[in-house]
Chains A and B, each alone.
Chain A
């Protein structure tokens, strides 16, 4: 695994304490496991959140 990718992935894992706090509030937690690319670009993330919200879930609930 290339160093830069590994750093990104660790970064992703380190974002998890926030997710953990959310879990303590009994909110569902979504774990993201991603490949070499950096965080998803805005249009993709927006499409993802749009899909999530169409099922009645939202960023604030997870």
Chain B
């Protein structure tokens, strides 16, 4: 990733769109302090991408999908889905220690508040995902909303189905692929914002003056087909809040 970021700098692009989570955003930041960068990444202040959301400063701005910050919501959803779960698991990517620390901390606090034990599983390759499911000893699984897991969602959904474990995540693609539930920011909205920021920067706006935007629209997607296969009755409280139900 750093080499590819460096290549964009050598090619003197006018603006870099660093999309798909933490690694591209950090690689772009490390590659150039002058070419404007528009990123999409969870908790950009915590990751050290920008000084503040309101005034990012420097050559970066972007959007935060709140992927790391919404972990407590997913823990709450899981505790509603599987009352008395005891142990729930969180699968995180091991490709960024800072992001990993933030999401684990967020989920841990929520789990403790609900009296749940949190099993942390780490993976960043196909075989590591397989291995994580061997280690898995929980009543429900939360999968970090991350490009890596998004690209491996078919594998994740198949493994969850084989273990007959409820699996939820932050991006709707996961639920569309057969995951049980997703709750997170509308990603279409995020891509739209990135497009407008790049347009503004190409017309002369300074990235450091454009505040990092946070999502305002969130969507809860429920897959009832998956619930049925798991023999799980979807709590009416969740169904009532669902923006979309896959039957």
Contact = CB atoms under 8 A, between A and B. Distances in A.
Contacts of A30: 13-17, 198, 202
Interface string A34-62: 11111010011101111111111100001
Nearest to B199: A55
A29 B188 CA distance: 23
Contacts of B19: 32-35, 40
> What bracket does the count of chain B residues touching chain A fall in?
35 or more
Contacts of B15: 28-31
A52 B27 contact: no
Contacts of A50: 192, 195
A33 B39 CA distance: 9
Given A31-B17, A34-B19, A54-B196, A20 B11 contact: yes
B194 A48 contact: yes
A45 to B, nearest CB: 7
Given A31-B8, A33-B1, A33-B8, A19 B192 contact: no
Contacts of A28: 14-15, 202
B189 interface: yes
> What bracket does the count of chain A residues touching chain B fall in?
35 or more
Interface string A1-31: 1100100011011001001100100001111
B199 A16 contact: no
B192 A33 contact: no
B7 interface: yes
Contacts of A43: 188
Interface in B1-58: 1, 4-5, 7-8, 11-21, 23-24, 27-28
A34 to B, nearest CB: 5
Interface in B151-207: 151, 187-189, 191-200, 202-203
A29 B74 CA distance: 39
A35 B125 contact: no
Nearest to B16: A31
B12 A45 contact: no
Interface of A: 1-2, 5, 9-10, 12-13, 16, 19-20, 23, 28-38, 40, 43-45, 47-57, 62
Shortest 6 CB-CB distances between A and B: which pairs?
Answer: A51-B195, A55-B199, A35-B20, A31-B13, A35-B147, A31-B8
Given A43-B188, A52-B196, 12 more contacts: A12-B4, A19-B13, A23-B13, A30-B198, A34-B19, A34-B147, A37-B151, A47-B192, A51-B191, A51-B196, A51-B198, A53-B199
17 contacts: A1-B1, A9-B1, A13-B7, A13-B8, A23-B12, A23-B13, A29-B14, A31-B16, A33-B1, A35-B19, A36-B151, A37-B20, A37-B151, A52-B199, A54-B196, A54-B199, A55-B200
Interface of B: 1, 4-5, 7-8, 11-21, 23-24, 27-28, 124-126, 147-148, 150-151, 187-189, 191-200, 202-203
